[in-house]
A and B are shown apart, each in its own frame.
Chain A
Amino acid sequence: MAVKRVRFTFPENLIREPIIYRLGHEFQVITNVRMADVDEKTGWVVLELEGDPDEIERSLAWAQERGVRVDPVTGDIVEG
């Protein structure tokens, strides 16, 4: 089991979609919302995902395929 913290950013067209609920149902991953700010145009959620490392990666790939941007919680690691 592993725990991974990520930041999801939702574009406007996904604001009304229950993405986190569906992620928790389609994959063997426990989701824990730790911080969030969502309005009518955009939104972000800091999420802890707990589960098998490969299953976590599959769930993140699934979220990205739906248009969610997935980043490290701390912002970009790669710097100039």
Chain B
Amino acid sequence: MSFAKNLRCRECHREYPLEARHVCDFCFGPVEVTYDYDAIRKAVSRERIERGPASLWRYRDYLPCDAESAIDIGAGFTPLIRAKNLGKALGLNNLYIKNDTVNPTWSFKDRVVAVASSRARELGYDKLACASTGNLANSVSAHAAAAGMEAVVFIPHDLELGKVLGSSIYGPTLVKVRGNYDAVNRLCAELAGAYNWAFVNVNVRPYYSEGSKTLGFEVAEQLGWRAPDHCVVPIASGSLFVKIRKGLQELWKTGLIDEPKTRMSGAQAAGCSPVATAWQEGSMNFRPQRPNTIAKSLAIGNPADGYYSLVQLQETGGACGSVTDDEIVAGMKLLAETEGIFAETAGGVTVASLKQLAAQGRIHPDELTVAFITGAGFKTVEAVAEALNPPLEIDATMESFEAAYNARVAQGVA
């Protein structure tokens, strides 16, 4: 059973039943799931969680659906790695990487879709839908396949082949939408209103976003039941950024960790940085942007949780990095070369922002800092293809090898 109580508007606090709804009818504020924390406190313990499955469903008591009938393809409980080499390169003595590249469809979206799809099925839906440039589409397609549900997935018409195949292998109805970014957005908003389907990030968004809390739960558990001093999180819609903190606070509210004093910092690409720009200007009112960055998984010019991200930056004393495409590629390479993790462009944004914030003195060298790496690099190989050393090509002789190898060593890049 779930301890979820109702949906509540974040603005006017009006309450609604646990139905498919994403905005308040009266003020258009976003609604979110509330829980009976007294009941959770009585039910949970560190030991109960530790005995649970090695997936996000070990935190079932904090999720808005029944774990017994959940759609489970093994999302979550990914490694938390002590990043000594990257830390040394950046002057951070206590740095950790939360490696969410190893989820079933290779991104953190499996967390949110696991919860959204499970709740959608409980609500009686038999179709899952989404509009996505990659990760979300992959995850919705996979979860629908595992659940025997139909998936209808909308993608921009000019998406790279790898991302298209990463969805179509699971057998969804894949729809390429011709038009610019804004037009695709408006069409998909209209479709979500017109069809009685579970659009995972629209009408079941309150449940969807709860999946991101599990990153906060896992990090605290993996650190020995304590909150980090500082988190650095990529910001797209802002939901992940806000919900990681909600997860830490829920563990505190239910008695499993001390009160978190975690500073929450964000990471955005300069080519799509509505939150970072507003933060730099000291404004709580972000202006929507037209994305122009290689970090397509973060290319949300009008973020649904942009305002709440700005509130969180202010409340926690965090900062927001903003990095160029060249810095993103350098960040991807740095993470791979120091820690052996091949992240997608969003990971490059996070590492480059980490570097930027450390150099600016916004991250203290001894703070226990966790950087969240949210998707795998094989999804965005185009971004780094030109920036890497080509392989040595040789004849099948010792002489040919040694000539090529020694030439490479002489360049200092072997």
Contacts and interface: CB of A to CB of B under 8 A. Distances in A.
Contacts of B202: 74, 77
B130 interface: yes
A79 B27 contact: no
B79 interface: no
Interface string B102-136: 00000001000000000000000000001111111
A70 interface: yes
Interface residues of A, number: 22
Contacts of B236: 79-80
A75 B303 contact: yes
A73 B236 CA distance: 17
Taking each of B199, B302, B303, which has the highest tally of chain A beta carbons within 10 Å of its own beta carbon?
A: B302
A79 to B, nearest CB: 5
Nearest to B306: A75
B186 A79 contact: no
B132 A79 contact: yes
Interface in A38-78: 42, 46, 69-78
B302 A75 contact: yes
A35 B299 contact: no
A77 B137 CA distance: 12
Taking each of A4, A35, A42, A72, which has the highest tally of chain B beta carbons within 10 Å of its own beta carbon?
A: A72
Contacts of A71: 182, 185-186, 288, 302
Contacts of B154: 78
Interface in B177-209: 181-182, 184-186, 188-190, 192, 199, 201-202, 205
B133 A9 contact: no
B28 A46 contact: yes
B134 A42 contact: no
A5 B186 CA distance: 10
Contact of B28 (A9, A34, A69, A80): A34
B296 A80 contact: yes
B322 interface: no
A37 interface: yes
Contacts of A69: 182, 288
A62 to B, nearest CB: 15
Nearest to A42: B287
Contact of A77 (B134, B189, B296, B305): B189
Contacts of A34: 28
Contacts of B297: 80
A75 B23 contact: no
Interface size class of B (residues with CB under 8 A): 35 or more
Interface string A12-41: 000000000000000000000011010000
A78 B182 CA distance: 9
A76 B306 CA distance: 11
A4 to B, nearest CB: 8
A75 B27 contact: no
Contacts of A76: 185, 237, 300-304
Contacts of B22: 74
A77 B190 CA distance: 10
Nearest to B187: A77
B140 to A, nearest CB: 10
B285 interface: yes
B298 interface: yes
B343 interface: no
B334 interface: no
A78 B132 contact: yes
A74 B302 CA distance: 9
A75 B156 CA distance: 17
A73 B288 CA distance: 12
B299 A80 contact: yes
B75 to A, nearest CB: 17
Interface in B16-47: 22-23, 27-28, 30
Contact of A80 (B23, B30, B133, B189): B133
B66 to A, nearest CB: 26
Given A6-B186, A7-B302, 11 more contacts: A34-B28, A35-B27, A42-B285, A42-B287, A71-B186, A73-B28, A74-B202, A79-B135, A80-B109, A80-B133, A80-B296
